[in-house]
Structure 1
Amino acid sequence: MANQKELREEYEEEKSYSKSQVFLFLIFIPAVFLILAAYIVLTLLGVNVNDKVSGITHAIPFVSSEQSQKNENIQESNEEIQKQVESLQKKLNAKDKQAAAYEKTITTKDRQMDELKIEMRDMEEKADDEAKKQKNNQLAKKDVIATYENMSPKNAALIFAELKEDKAVAMLKQFKASTRTAILEKMDPKVAARYTTLLTDQIDE
């Protein structure tokens, strides 16, 4: 009994194995070969096999529905990416505008700084020129005073008589007391009195 059972099991296994071989060699492999050959031939004839296969799969309800869902998911993903890109582009544009505004402000500040530097330089040059002018005037006054001090009081008195009062008084103030006294003594008494009064008033001020 045991031998018969074993023989039966072996027979069933061989039978199953034989069916698998028959399916593999007589159906599956030839079918794959035919599909591959058909794909090559149709491709050589210029037929877009991929589009045809896609059309067939769309015609199948389950496959079509699944493919449609995938397409929708892809489209939604693309739309989301597009929104993100647009948002980033807007932010980038805003940053560019802000950077341009900052650059304009910096340019304006730089120009103002340059203008202030030029103005300061002009003021310094003007101050230097004024200082030089004052120094030259002081030297000129000293030369004039030295000239009058070296001059005889009589000649100096004749010249002072021809000068305007304010200038004459201003110069007399610069002289030493002895020189001023000598010049006033040589002047007309009325003129000397007038200059003496003016000199006294300025000293009192």
Structure 2
Amino acid sequence: MEFETEGSASKFERFLFLMIPIIFTLVLLGVLLTLFNMDIRNNVLAIANKIPVVEKWVPDPPQSADEAADPQQQAEEQAASSDKTIKELKSQLTAQSEQLKKANEDTAAQATKAEALQKQIDGMKEEAAAAEAGTDETEDPYVKQVKELAKLYAGMKASKAAPIMENLTTDEMVQIFSVMNNASKTAILEKMDPKKAADVSIKLKETTNSTDMAIAALQSRLKQDAGASTKTTATNNLDKEKLNQTFTSMPAADAATLLGSMYKISPDKVITILNTVSDTVRSSILGEMTKNDSAQTAKVVNRLMGGK
């Protein structure tokens, strides 16, 4: 019994040993065929139909939808598909052509706009240069002189420029200060008389343009000169200090000629003038008078010494 049992077990084991690889191989083939989506039945039927005797016993494999279709219909469908594809391609080509044309038009418009802007900029530069050149060429000489004078005062020390400018009229000082930089203006105003500085500061605040300032300055100068002329006319005689300054600053030859002519009209005035000048100036004038008329000079000297 034990021997028969062992023999049966050995046969079953051999059977399993042979069948397991076969079963595994079949399962693996089935899985692979399923993964690759292969139609096994139709392929087997197609192969069997090619065998001369077996083809009578094996049914024909079913035709696919593509094979069952009518060739003419397939041709029509293919032609329709081709026409549709061509139309789509033509439509895409037309759209791209329009986009390219629009892009070219936009580029041309941008180039034209840029060129117009550049011409405008060039024109503005030319106008600015012409205006600057015209300003330099047509600048009023009076205004130019005022600027030069302001530059002169600004270049001086404030302590020296202030007393000189105080001799000007208020409107003239305003005109000069208006074209002067703030630093020089402040330094000179600090050294000026407080009242005059205040008057100038107020008028600086009220000024509008250079033309008005020039007119005001000229009017103030004319007014001052007219007042000085009236004062001079009202005074009958010059004081001794002014006579001294006048004849001291004159050349001795000119003073001698003038006094020689005056002596014929008013000898007393000639003696008065010679008494006001210094000894050095008097000797120079008398020396020149001797050259012109020695006899007349002798009379003058006699009068200077108290004679008649």
Q: With the length of structure 1 as denominator, give the TM-score of the two structures.
A: 0.38
Structure with greater proportional helix content: 1
Q: With the length of structure 2 as denominator, give the TM-score of the two structures.
A: 0.27
Higher relative contact order (CA 8 A, sep 6+): 1
